């Protein structure tokens, strides 16, 4: 089994005359990868290309050996993408969602994750009745129970208080598969690899370096 789960070569993404990503080439290996960069640097665009939501203007992308566009149905069985944008149905009861996940992944596993995220006491509420921190925990439930080979998170800590952020970090640290996290908030987690995007270009890609990460978050 190859250690490389994402391979990007000569990637360019343009929206009209605006170049969002330019000349991106990188490899992401199995494990935990942190993707950082200022707003507008292209983090979400890169994740959308990796998951097949955006067609690149040029270049080649492989994820777990698949083309994200041509092999999207096969790839979706192996990855889970949790975006910053909350698409969760506002009126859905948490108990209904727990039932859906239980039918797919097994009730015991879902209940365990529910308790771990301290959502069990909110199970009879509707999504819109929860605070943003609790809503984000609900959205992360599937990530904890799915056993997907690769789980991708776009800004999972945005707008959260310290308690919710710490709880989610601890939960994500327990995921067995590979994860990619794009964040402008420093996660208190272990990472194997670091990617820094600036102005649509990769300025660092390699082994996780605390000095680069710390320096970026201090500046940001």
pLDDT digits (tens, 9 = 90+) for 68-98: 999 999 999 999 999 866 678 889 999 999 9
Centre a 10 Å sphere on the Cβ of residue 131 and count the other Cβ atoms it contains.
12
Instruction: Name the residue with higher pLDDT: 108 or 87.
Output: 108
List Cα–Cα distances, 165 to 78, 92, 203, in angstroms: 26, 24, 27
Q: What is the pLDDT of residue 186?
A: 81
φ, ψ of residue 66 in degrees (nearest 5): -105, 150
List Cα–Cα distances, 77 to 29, 115, 151, in angstroms: 19, 26, 11
d(CA 182, CA 85): 13
d(CA 58, CA 52): 14
Strand order in 150-154's β-sheet? 79-82, 150-154, 178-182, 32-36, 193-198, 201-207
Mean pLDDT, residues 129-144 taken together: 91
Centre a 10 Å sphere on the Cβ of residue 79 and count the other Cβ atoms it contains.
24
Q: What is the pLDDT of residue 80?
A: 96
Q: In which band, very low, low, confident or very high, does the pLDDT at 219 lie, cut at 50, 70 and 90? A: low
Mean pLDDT, residues 43-72 taken together: 96
The closest of 132, 143, 148, 138 to 114, measured between CA atoms, is 138
What predicted TM-score, i.e. pTM, was given to this entire model? Answer: 0.91
Structural tokens at position 187: 């996660």
Structural tokens at position 14: 């343009």
Q: Write down the H helix ranges in 26-131.
A: 43-50, 72-75, 94-105, 107-116
pLDDT digits (tens, 9 = 90+) for 161-216: 888 889 889 888 888 899 999 998 888 889 999 999 999 999 999 999 988 888 87
Mean pLDDT, residues 59-74 taken together: 96
Mean pLDDT, residues 6-26 taken together: 95
d(CA 124, CA 67): 41
């Amino acid at each position: 089994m190859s250690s490389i789960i994402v391979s990007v070569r000569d990637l360019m993404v343009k929206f009209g005359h605006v170049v969002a990503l330019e000349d991106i080439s990188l490899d992401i290996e199995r494990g935990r990868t942190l993707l950082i960069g200022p707003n507008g640097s292209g983090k979400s665009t890169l994740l959308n290309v990796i998951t097949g939501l955006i067609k690149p203007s040029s270049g080649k992308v492989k994820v777990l050996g698949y083309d994200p566009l041509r092999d999207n149905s096969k790839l979706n069985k192996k990855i889970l993408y949790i975006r910053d944008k909350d698409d969760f149905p506002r009126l859905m009861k948490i108990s209904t969602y727990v039932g859906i996940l239980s039918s797919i992944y097994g009730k015991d596993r879902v209940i365990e994750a529910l308790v771990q995220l301290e959502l069990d006491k909110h199970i009879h509420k509707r999504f819109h009745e929860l605070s943003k921190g609790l809503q984000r925990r609900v959205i992360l439930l599937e990530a904890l129970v799915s056993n997907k080979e690769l789980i991708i998170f776009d800004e999972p800590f945005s707008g959260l208080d310290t308690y919710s952020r710490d709880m989610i970090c601890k939960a994500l640290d327990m995921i067995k598969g590979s994860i990619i996290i794009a964040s402008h908030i420093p996660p208190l987690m272990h990472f194997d690899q670091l990617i820094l995007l600036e102005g649509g270009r990769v300025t660092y890609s390699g082994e996780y370096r605390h000095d680069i990460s710390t320096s970026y978050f201090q500046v940001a």
